[in-house]
């Protein structure tokens, strides 16, 4: 069984399409040794890094597009989206495919960690705002004495700066 099969079976396991089973669940991943999370309801699959076709006149964090079983989707390097230093992709680099408002995008991350239950009571607002009001931060999840930065999927995809476009 490949690593990809394990991701699909273990990380995205769901007892059905009932939205309640996805409540308070976050897929966590690492960028620059920091842990981030995104609501599992947006995640459609996790794949290894693959060939990315560059597209001119895109923001630098949009590395291009990938062909995912015949569907062309943009590939966003989340490190660059956050203004972090670019790094070479390796065998741990993953593409987390998410779908928000019927728009699929592949998020390139350093590595995927796990799916965590983070109840609403364990989520603090991001510094200087209410929960869900940060530019990209939805909140800060407290898990076993650690903090996970929880991302607002809509802002990550659609909260572009002036002049940015797909």
Task: Supply the CATH classification number for the domain 3-158.
Answer: 2.40.50.180
pLDDT in tens, 92-144: 999 999 999 999 999 999 999 999 999 999 999 887 765 555 578 889 999 99
**pTM for this model (two decimals):** 0.81
Residue 51 pLDDT more than 70? Answer: yes
Largest CA distance in the chain: 45
Mean pLDDT, the chain, integer = 85
Residues 137, 154, 55, 68, CA torsion sign: positive
For 14, other C-beta atoms within 10 Å of its C-beta total: 12
Residue (of 111, 121, 144, 112) closest to 40 by Cα position? 112
Q: How is the chain split among helix, strand and coil, in percent rounded to 5?
A: 15, 40, 40
Q: At 37, which helix (H) or strand (E)?
A: strand 34-39
**Is pLDDT at 17 greater than 90 in this prediction?**
no
Domain ranges of the chain: 3-158
Tell me the β-bridge partners of 45. Answer: 97
């Amino acid at each position: 069984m490949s690593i990809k099969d394990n991701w699909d079976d273990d990380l995205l396991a769901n007892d059905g399409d009932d939205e309640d089973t996805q409540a308070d669940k976050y897929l966590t991943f690492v960028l620059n040794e920091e842990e981030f999370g995104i609501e599992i309801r947006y995640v459609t699959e996790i794949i290894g890094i693959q060939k990315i076709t560059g597209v001119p006149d895109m923001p630098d964090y949009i590395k291009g597009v990938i062909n995912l079983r015949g569907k062309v989707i943009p590939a966003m390097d989340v490190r660059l989206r956050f203004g972090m230093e670019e790094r070479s992709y390796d065998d741990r680099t993953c593409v987390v495919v998410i779908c928000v408002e019927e728009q699929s995008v592949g998020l390139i991350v350093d590595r995927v960690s796990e799916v965590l239950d983070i109840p609403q009571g364990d989520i603090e607002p991001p510094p200087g705002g209410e929960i869900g009001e940060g530019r990209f931060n939805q909140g800060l999840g407290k898990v076993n004495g650690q903090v996970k930065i929880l991302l607002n999927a809509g802002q990550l995809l659609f909260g572009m700066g002036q002049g940015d476009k797909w």
